[in-house]
Structure 1
Amino acid sequence: MNIRTTLIAVPLLLIGTTAFAADNKIAPMIESVDVTHNGETVTVTRGHDGNATLPDIFQKTDRGCPPFCVQPIQAVPGVDTVGELEVLDYLHRIHQGDESIMVIDSRTPDWVMRGTIPGSMNIPWTKINTDTAGTFETPGEADTFVHILADEFGANQNPQTGAWTFEEAKTLVLFCNGIWCPQSTTNINTLVEYGYPVYKLKWYRGGMQDWASVGLTTVKP
């Protein structure tokens, strides 16, 4: 991970009776992380505005369940649940040329337009799941899923039997809006049902709401 550190003492900014450090690192030894988004380098940092608040879209607390139910800590047995630092590590590995990893924003484009994690790729959950059961009602929808599995994720399908193999498939890190959002967990369940190895699936449970809540850089299309 590209680590940038401050080597000199930094004075505090005094606002009223509250002191804010001019330096606002991601972690004690991580000041920023370089990632690649749409072919360009984006430096992920934390905000330095002591008065910053969550975007309005994430301030709502009363969301109906279903569908917006609190998600479990583990999406599927064997699938690792990861946090912000792990996501940043995966993104930086991609930035350094590791093509075996994808970080996937599972949300629909209307949500992505409001901001996403730099370095992630948007594959809406509706492209993998057309309903909560993960079924495909038309040949076109099934063809889309086959295309994603083969061309995006690197899985291989036997033309005679139709069976999938995943030896060359990528490690996928999926997220959506947060702990109340079922889109990425639905995708994970569907992928596991099709045989995707659980050790190649990671789930960022906190999603966009947690990412925004700690002031990490976001980008808009």
Structure 2
Amino acid sequence: MKQSAWMIGATLLAAAGVAGAEEMKVKVTPELESVTVMHEDEKVEIKRNQDPDNRIAEDYQQTSRECPPFCVQPIQLLPGVHTIGEIELLNMLADRAMEKDEFLLIDSRTPDWFNKGTIPSAVNIPWTKLYPGSSTFDPFVAETLLLDEFGVKKDGGLFDFRQAKKLVLFCNGPWCGQSPTNIKALVALGYPADKIYWYRGGMQLWHTLGLTTVDPS
């Protein structure tokens, strides 16, 4: 299913579960069973896999990738950028559902990875579209993303970031440089660092915890 930046939301389910539903044995926290988001026009419940025999997906079993380019990323990527984990991301999704928060969840991976599965409600904006050093970088495409998707304005030929959206970016995990590259490119353009959140664990830890993914179509 295609992603939509606008058709998103979340519903926090308490540990007791919704009325009539069986309580989950594999919860996110003792108080949190799941978060439900709108992915396109369909509800998707993000929860941990309930099968105790479930194992991590094969794509994320590899431990030793050559560095560079697959180098371990720091916790603090850039001054002002917020590094978050799974609980923080799920809480943000729940707050967004209750209209207490608004942000764009961005999968920074290339389409070949994105098409294998992503976090529900994420949109795919590959690092190659924002990083000037990419062989396929197109400045017109990058500017269009800023103006049409990120809420950036133009004033006298200069970017105005005062109304820019809060962004949450992720990629394949602590060894992946795709979302860090996106973040560094945005900050270099003038995007406010304090409006950028980085889910460092990415798909590696998302899969490790057995959390729900969706396959784009």
CA-CA distance at 1:40 after TM superposition: 1.6
SS of residue in 1 equivalent to 2:203? helix
Is 1:127–2:107 an aligned residue pair? no
Q: Name the SS for the 1:32 alignment partner.
A: strand
1:173 aligns with 2:168: yes
Q: Which has the larger radius of gyration?
A: 1
Q: Which residue of 2 aligns with 1:4?
A: 14
- Give structure 1 stretches of 5+ with no counterpart: 8-20
> If the length of structure 1 is used for normalisation, what is the TM-score?
0.85
Q: Is residue 151 of structure 1 aligned with residue 148 of structure 2?
A: yes
For 1:113 and 1:174, locate their aligned partners in 2 and report how far apart those are by CA, in whole Å: 17
After superposition, the CA RMSD in angstroms is 2.0
Cα distance in 2 between the residues matched to 1:50 and 1:99: 34
State the SS of the aligned residue for 2:207: helix
Correspondence for 1:61 among 42, 63, 73: 63
SS of the equivalent of 2:15 reads coil
Give 3-state SS (helix, strand or coil) of 2:37's partner: strand
Corresponding residue for residue 204 of structure 1: 199
List structure 1 segments (4+ residues) > 3 angstroms apart after TM superposition: 93-100
Assess if the C-alpha contact under 8 Å between 2:129 and 2:136 holds in 1: no
**Structure 2 residue aligned with 1:105:** 107
Q: Give the gaps of 5 or more residues in structure 2.
A: 1-10, 18-22
In 1, Cα distance between equivalents of 2:179 and 2:214: 20
1:29-82 Cα offsets, whole Å, 9 max, x none, are 001111111122111111111111111110111111111111011111111100
For residues 25-40 of structure 1, the aligned pairs below 5 Å read 25-40=27-42
**Separation (CA, whole Å) in 1 of partners of 2:97 and 2:139:** 31
Identity, in percent, stands at 47
Residues 144-178 of structure 1, C-alpha deviations (whole Å, 9 max, x = no match): 000000100001112x3x21111111100000000
Calculate the TM-score normalised by the size of structure 2.
0.86
